[in-house]
Structure 1
Amino acid sequence: MIIRSLGAAVVLAGSVIAGGATALPAGAAPGEGLAGDLKSDLDAILKDSRLKGAKVGVVVRDAQSGRVLYDRNGGGKVMPASNNKLPTSAAAFGILGAGYRFRTTVSTKGGNLYLKGTGDTTMRASDYDRLAASVAGKGVKEVRGDLVADDTWFDADRVPDGWDPADLQYAYAAQTSALTVSPNADFDAGSIDVTVAATRPGRPVRVGLRPATGVVKIDNRATTGAAGSPSTLAVKRRNGSNTIRITGRHPAGAPKASVLRTVAGPTRYAADVFRRALKAHGVRVAGRTERGRTPAGAETIATRTSMPLSQLAKPFMKLSNNVMAETLVKAIGRKVRGKGTWAAGLPAVTAYAGRLGVDTSQVAMTDGSGLARSNRTTAMQLSTLLRNAREQAWFPAWYASLPVAGKPDRLVGGTLAKRMKGTAAEGNVHAKTGTLTGVTALSGYVEDPDGRTLIFSTVFNGYSGSAPKDIEDEIAVRLAGGSPVLRRTTPTTDDDGDGDGLEPTWRRSR
């Protein structure tokens, strides 16, 4: 077959009061009913000197009744970091549905080949290869027109307001597009894996790109150092450019280094990967690769659908994937208002949180992931959302997406895989982490020794020194029935224990 060109190219349980708190029964005191003196224990934990002068929000509630058992400034507005993904993911389940799938199609009309995406962050080079094989399998040997990349399901804004320009070369701050490609099984969409291998001392290092693409250029200024010398590699992409400069030295005999960097213009990147796949399967495209819209009446010849949201939620939440969060916000906007924009999606997320009992006057969302420092919420509102989410039909799948303390499998433990091991919280605490410079958060569920489910939310802003995640852990362990205070022989400073204060998908590779 030759494609010829025809022309120019809820129902809420419990009584919720203003601010999201649930009214205490007459005569009940916060902390009453838990073994020991909860207030004294948590107050002691929170006396840590690193929290002096910090904004501290801590709320503990009984999940069944909603009764507040402990409240330390639970109504104070704080930056939530990745706890912002709690309302984003809840709204995705509630609005899009647990069975929601992203769809990527290849169509033909007028001699052109159209690649159309709807925001699938799980598309890898192998998936584009399968699409290309399907096209070839239909007998297509030549496309005499253009390859048109259709990303119009979303708008062309790539980065939310409030993101720091200094972050934009790193995988945790990749651009959002309806057409994108992921370099790995963590689905770091919109990024590329830059590999650096040593050669002989004094010679240039060898650099590779995965997946292969001509959209990204390499400026290799790095050399191979003496065996046993330290690696001083620096891998940088300047904003607005797709040239990645590599400087420094990498020692002879050292393992290959691998660094993720974002790609400016993920649509063009995805289209290039697909075009290469077409060529590999014997399909020649005579025309250019350009962005455009799939015309009405185009014939669909290949389709790829993603895993359902119920499965996608695990890499999203457990690995705290920012690009997935922003993509879901735009997908929600498309569903609710017919516009794949943050302006359409974020109000819909906030409104859905309101349906879960959240006092939305206490919430400001400027992105879906929590990377923007202009997001605001309170520990009480997070606890309200966590409590009332339990009444929803989608709750089991959502709960399963939360990181589980001390479980080493990355798609079980996620950002809690190395935390609270050997304590009463291991395998018990299911909670969402959050990390930004000067911000740490942990909110979720824990079962106490009596089998009662407790909801907790801890958010710290403006503390001194490294992220006090050990304090979060002490609180969670106390709620699980463990010792009120953990021994701090090896303090946990971040979500994956590497000491950089960032969640695994937010790590800046140097």
Structure 2
Amino acid sequence: MRLGRWTHASGMLLGLSLLLGGCATAPTPSTRQALDRLLADPALNGASVSLMVRDARSGSTLYQHNPRSRLTPASSLKLLTTAAAMDVLGPQYRFSTQLLSNGARQGERLNGNLYLRGLGDPTIQWADYQALAAQLAGQGIRQVQGDLVFDDTWFDAERLGVDWAHDDESTYYGAQISALTVSPDMDFDAGTLLVIAKAPAVVGQPVSVEISPATDYVQISNRAVSGPGNSYGLNRQHGTNLLRLSGAVAPGKQSQQAVSVWEPTQLVANLFERALAEQGISVQGRRVIGGTRPTTATVLAVHESAPLQELITPLLKLSNNSMAEALLKAMGRKTANAGTAAAGTAAVAGFLKRQGVDPATLNQVDGSGLSRRNLVSAQNLTDLLLAASKQPWFNAWYNALPIAGNQDRMTGGSLRYRLRGTSAENNLHAKTGSMGGVSSLTGYVTDAQGRQLVFSMVTNNYVVEGARIKVLEDRLAAALAQWAH
């Protein structure tokens, strides 16, 4: 889920005029009344809200409203997943992709199977697979006498999370999870391809279509044309890799979208066979999907990701679901030798318990927050923020959070268009969350006298436009940044 694309200048000015009428030691009656008025906003009629504000140093509660009510947090759940990963896997953890063989070399011939083994790297790209093939060619191998086996068994075969919505299936944020996958760009949306539709200058003519990385793994049904109206649409037909383009793209313009594929391992197979062919390496045997490399196989080439302490920046700034799900299953593999979501959530629960947070007070079923079965309270989230602030890896994690109003995409992330011109700008470090009827904002903010606060606001079951709830979250954050004591 990529969020934070709302601009609310008028709403924030109204909110600030309501909230910043007085400054005194918190919580003063005026501050409390202002937050009470915020919660009484008509946009929240019939909605459920869990809200908590605490002193980051002492942990004392400054304001609360239904703090223990469990609600769907959307992407604020990534706070649990990433904090646990920094503890369970460690800041220096790297994903690995290996090229192995159980065969013997005979000149340019490899007499045995070649295994491409994925250990869940959501950041690996087409160029990295090309580099693996080049490493093999650099060893003088030009022919593989055995099979080409694609080993994705480090994770289970459950490609989607529990109760993920069917209408998210073709989106980049609902992509299938595999231990052997590929990302099309530096946003690391693993399991997707970029579809670039370019409209000619002549109205009514069909758009041209480019796929990146180039592959024949998908098929195109192109009914999109050059024309006015901004009605262009792209989706993938369920159970297939048929991409359907429709509507209109403005003349002379282009649209670039990421779309998920059906079975990412098969896409990797398609791409890696092409990478081998580019290096002049032929494979005489079969393509085998889901085979397991023998323990006696020798590693011929390796690609490693950046360390986790760097990966959490794109994950949290851009709210990357694929990366969060990979981390969850990697934790399951580390702690229980099972690359499953259930083992991963058990690992998160273990981390929470070690921090004094009772995991029985919440429910987590995935790593990203895409499932509506996730249930977390503002109390849970602020407990996590307080616990994280005491960890040796805290600074890296804190800096990876989106920073309000900072226009740099990899600094401001999902908050880059929010809270500009307020005391929260370049101050608030927080995670956003949004789905239909769900919005959340959870993080750290420093008040007018330099006191750091932690807070969480989770809102469910509203029927107004989500942007109206974001305005209320921004009013809250701006008010907290203005507290004086």
Q: Does 1:105 align with 2:107?
A: no
**Aligned-pair RMSD on alpha carbons?**
1.7
Q: Deviations over 1:347-367 (max 9, x none)?
A: 221221222222322201111
Q: Deviations over 1:107-155 (max 9, x none)?
A: 1223221111101011111111111111111111122222211111111
Contact kept? 2:219, 2:243, Cα under 8 Å:
yes
The residue correspondences of 1:77-88 to structure 2 (distance < 5 A) are: 77-88=70-81
Distance in 1 (CA, whole Å) between partners of 2:230 and 2:73 is 35
Q: Which residue of 1 aligns with 2:140?
A: 139
Question: Measured at CA, do residues 454 and 196 of structure 1 come closer, stay the same or move farther in structure 2, by a change above 3 Å?
Answer: same
Counterpart of 2:220 (choices 207, 218, 221) is 218
The residue correspondences of 1:459-470 to structure 2 (distance < 5 A) are: 459-467=458-466, 468-470=469-471
Counterpart of 1:74 (choices 67, 71, 74) is 67
More helix by share: 2
Q: Which residue of 2 aligns with 1:508?
A: none
Distance in 1 (CA, whole Å) between partners of 2:302 and 2:174 is 28
2:223 is aligned with what amino acid?
Answer: R
Q: Which residue of 1 aligns with 2:207?
A: 205
Contact kept? 1:162, 1:366, Cα under 8 Å:
no
CA drift at 1:268: 1.1
The residue correspondences of 1:36-435 to structure 2 (distance < 5 A) are: 37-110=30-103, 111-199=112-200, 200-225=202-227, 229-251=228-250, 253-291=251-289, 292-435=291-434
Contact kept? 1:423, 1:482, Cα under 8 Å:
no
Partner SS, residue 373 of structure 1: coil
Distance in 2 (CA, whole Å) between partners of 1:423 and 1:481 is 9
1:163 is aligned with what amino acid?
Answer: W
CA drift at 1:419: 0.5
Q: Which residue of 2 aligns with 1:451?
A: 450
Question: Measured at CA, do residues 371 and 280 of structure 1 come closer, stay the same or move farther in structure 2, by a change above 3 Å?
Answer: same
Contact kept? 1:404, 1:427, Cα under 8 Å:
yes
Partner SS, residue 57 of structure 1: strand
Question: Measured at CA, do residues 203 and 481 of structure 1 come closer, stay the same or move farther in structure 2, by a change above 3 Å?
Answer: closer
Gaps of 5+ in 2: 1-23, 104-111
CA drift at 1:446: 0.6
Distance in 2 (CA, whole Å) between partners of 1:224 and 1:424 is 45
Q: Which residue of 2 aligns with 1:15?
A: none
Q: Deviations over 1:357-405 (max 9, x none)?
A: 2232220111111111111011011111101111111211111111100
How many pairs were matched up? Answer: 449
Distance in 1 (CA, whole Å) between partners of 2:209 and 2:436 is 32
Question: Measured at CA, do residues 287 and 217 of structure 1 come closer, stay the same or move farther in structure 2, by a change above 3 Å?
Answer: farther
CA drift at 1:38: 2.3
1:405 is aligned with what amino acid?
Answer: A
Distance in 1 (CA, whole Å) between partners of 2:213 and 2:101 is 26
Contact kept? 1:55, 1:462, Cα under 8 Å:
yes
Q: Deviations over 1:2-47 (max 9, x none)?
A: xxxxxxxxxxxxxxxxxxxxxxxxxxxxx95457732122112222
2:175 is aligned with what amino acid?
Answer: A
Distance in 2 (CA, whole Å) between partners of 1:480 and 1:231 is 39
Worse-superposed segment, 352-361 or 385-394: 352-361
Distance in 1 (CA, whole Å) between partners of 2:41 and 2:93 is 44
Question: Measured at CA, do residues 464 and 202 of structure 1 come closer, stay the same or move farther in structure 2, by a change above 3 Å?
Answer: closer
Contact kept? 1:60, 1:454, Cα under 8 Å:
yes
Query: TM-score with structure 2 length normalisation?
Result: 0.89
Question: Measured at CA, do residues 221 and 391 of structure 1 come closer, stay the same or move farther in structure 2, by a change above 3 Å?
Answer: same
1:305 is aligned with what amino acid?
Answer: E
Partner SS, residue 482 of structure 2: coil
Q: Deviations over 1:170-198 (max 9, x none)?
A: 00000111010001110000011111122
Distance in 1 (CA, whole Å) between partners of 2:445 and 2:28 is 14
Contact kept? 1:117, 1:153, Cα under 8 Å:
yes
Distance in 1 (CA, whole Å) between partners of 2:306 and 2:132 is 16
Contact kept? 1:213, 1:273, Cα under 8 Å:
yes
Contact kept? 1:87, 1:350, Cα under 8 Å:
no
Distance in 2 (CA, whole Å) between partners of 1:471 and 1:223 is 40
Partner SS, residue 101 of structure 2: strand
Contact kept? 1:404, 1:426, Cα under 8 Å:
yes
Q: Which residue of 2 aligns with 1:440?
A: 439
Question: Measured at CA, do residues 451 and 35 of structure 1 come closer, stay the same or move farther in structure 2, by a change above 3 Å?
Answer: farther
Q: Deviations over 1:413-459 (max 9, x none)?
A: 11001100111000100011110111110011011111111111111
2:45 is aligned with what amino acid?
Answer: K
Partner SS, residue 456 of structure 1: strand
2:389 is aligned with what amino acid?
Answer: R
Q: Which residue of 2 aligns with 1:491?
A: none
Distance in 2 (CA, whole Å) between partners of 1:180 and 1:278 is 17
Contact kept? 2:439, 2:470, Cα under 8 Å:
yes
Partner SS, residue 188 of structure 2: coil
Contact kept? 1:155, 1:340, Cα under 8 Å:
yes
2:274 is aligned with what amino acid?
Answer: R
Question: Measured at CA, do residues 202 and 466 of structure 1 come closer, stay the same or move farther in structure 2, by a change above 3 Å?
Answer: closer
Contact kept? 1:424, 1:482, Cα under 8 Å:
no
Contact kept? 2:241, 2:262, Cα under 8 Å:
yes
1:212 is aligned with what amino acid?
Answer: A
2:284 is aligned with what amino acid?
Answer: A
Question: Measured at CA, do residues 381 and 32 of structure 1 come closer, stay the same or move farther in structure 2, by a change above 3 Å?
Answer: farther
Gaps of 5+ in 1: 1-30, 484-510
Contact kept? 2:449, 2:483, Cα under 8 Å:
no
Question: Measured at CA, do residues 288 and 221 of structure 1 come closer, stay the same or move farther in structure 2, by a change above 3 Å?
Answer: farther
2:475 is aligned with what amino acid?
Answer: E
Partner SS, residue 409 of structure 2: coil
Question: Measured at CA, do residues 474 and 129 of structure 1 come closer, stay the same or move farther in structure 2, by a change above 3 Å?
Answer: same
